Copies of this chain bind each other. A is one copy, B any other.
Amino acid sequence: MDKDGHTHHISQQFNDELERVRSHLLEMGGLVESQVTDAVHALLEADSARAEAVRTNDKRINSMELSIDEECIRILARRQPAASDLRLVIAVTKGITDLERVGDEARKIAEQAIQLCESGQSPKGYVEARHIGGLVVRMLHEALDAFARQDVDMALSVVEQDKRVDMEYASAMRELVTVMMEDPRTISRVLSIMWSLRSLERVGDHARNLAEYVIYLVKGEDVRHIGLQELASKIKS
């Protein structure tokens, strides 16, 4: 094989490796997304079997994180990627940490669902859990889509949606405090819903982080910790 053929061969292998690590992140993301969906359904329908399944699946997510991380480190060590390839590997190692933590939040919601199956339903908070759950699952889905398509506009829209989640979350919490005060016998059960909403709000934060890595990946610019306006103008530039 001539030198160019060899180089081509190597770089084809390298591309395959990058492609594989990318698709592994998306696979992990898909699993995490369905974990959140299942956890919210288990909560809404007081389905303890489904909640138990979420708990069991979390182990799979943890081991996916480890193996994708190993792939990334192997690529860094052997291929010494530069420029956009390096950014992809970095975005993947950071992104899977967020996905793993989304998995943790899904597990926590499932645990609260189990608790509520035992103690009886909360008098309030389910409408809010369904609503905020829907919002953050969509954010997560779009962040993963944005990653798959390297779509910066979609990533920006995810970042924007996080503001709305935070507002809805704050207003749900205020309402639930009133419910507790009106009937203190409900405190424990309302708290279970509150912790679940808190977890959902965290899922929104992680989806936002993921979207920011997409922007970094495509634009080569770190956009964490800057305001929305500055972010939008950076992306348009």
Contacts and interface: CB of A to CB of B under 8 A. Distances in A.
Interface of A: 59, 62-63, 65-66, 69-70, 73, 76-77, 80, 82-83, 86-87, 90, 93-94, 97, 177, 180-181, 184-185, 187-188, 191, 198, 222, 224-225
B187 A225 contact: no
B222 A66 contact: yes
The prevalent SS among residues of A at the interface is helix
Contacts of A65: 224-225
Nearest to A66: B222
A171 to B, nearest CB: 15
A19 to B, nearest CB: 20
Nearest to A94: B97
A73 B80 CA distance: 12
A184 B180 CA distance: 8
